[in-house]
Amino acid sequence: MAMLNILHYPDSRLRRIAEPVATIDKSIQKLAEDMLDTMYEAPGVGLAAPQVNVTKQIIVIDITEDKSNPLIFINPEIIDRQGSAENEEGCLSIPNIFETVTRAEEITVRYLNQYGKSQELHAKNLLATCIQHEIDHLSGKLFIDYLSKLKVSRIRKKIEKQHSRAI
Ligand SMILES: [Zn+2]
């Protein structure tokens, strides 16, 4: 079990664009497992490779409370979106901040699993929200990008305060 270091906003490395994975080998499988361990330890329900300073298109998700359904998505692509839903979101890279974001209510995602097999998954509710949030990380997008400038500046101030308290 290996824990990876999670980058925190406003670290500019969170804004880098992730590359598709060309070959799924042992190192990719190990990375995905380490990402799951890191996500469970945090604890969180999703983690994208750019959050652990790896610019590859890999995300991991488990929305169950007993860690019983770890999902690994490599080179994920949303191929269908339906409806819209508001949900409160947080992010392991933006600790202690929770805000409402509007996203598609249901999605279909196409991806490779950890063995390189092409899969499609239809997701709704929390899982759909989580997949969309994590896929955004692959293009350097954060959930606070959906908020108003005023809200973002309040969040930045709150984060600066948290940092000064930690020192
Ligand atoms: Zn996030």
Q: What pLDDT, in 10s, does the model give residues 18-28? A: 999 999 999 99
Structural domain includes residue 22: yes
Q: How far is the centre of ligand 1, averaged over its atoms, from the C-alpha of 14 (Å)?
A: 10
Binding site listing: 91, 133, 137
Whether the pLDDT of residue 143 is over 80: the answer is yes
How is 107-160 classified by DSSP, letter by letter? EEEEEE-TTS-EEEEEEEHHHHHHHHHHHHHHTT--GGGGS-HHHHHHHHHHHH
Structural domain includes residue 2: no
Q: What pLDDT, in 10s, does the model give residues 22-74? A: 999 999 999 999 999 999 999 999 999 999 999 999 999 999 999 999 999 99
pLDDT averaged over the chain? 96
Please give the radius of gyration of the chain, using alpha carbons only, rounded to the nearest integer.
Answer: 16
How is 1-67 classified by DSSP, letter by letter? --PPPPP-TT-GGGGSPPBPPS---HHHHHHHHHHHHHHHHTT-SEEEGGGGT--BSEEEE--STTS
pLDDT of residue 167: 63
Catalytic positions, please?
A: 134
Cis peptide before 95 (omega within 30 of 0): no
Structural domain includes residue 1: no
Q: How far is the centre of ligand 1, averaged over its atoms, from the C-alpha of 81 (Å)?
A: 20
Structural domain includes residue 61: yes
Whether the pLDDT of residue 133 is over 70: the answer is yes
Q: How far is the centre of ligand 1, averaged over its atoms, from the C-alpha of 116 (Å)?
A: 24
CATH number for the domain spanning 90: value is 3.90.45.10
Whether the pLDDT of residue 163 is over 80: the answer is no
Q: If you search the block for the tokens 């899969």, which residue do you land on?
A: 119
Structural domain includes residue 77: yes
Q: How many domains does the chain have?
A: 1
Binding site listing for Fe cation: 91, 133, 137
Residue 76, CA distances (Å) to 22, 58, 131 in order: 13, 8, 9
Report CA 152 to chain centroid distance, whole Å.
19
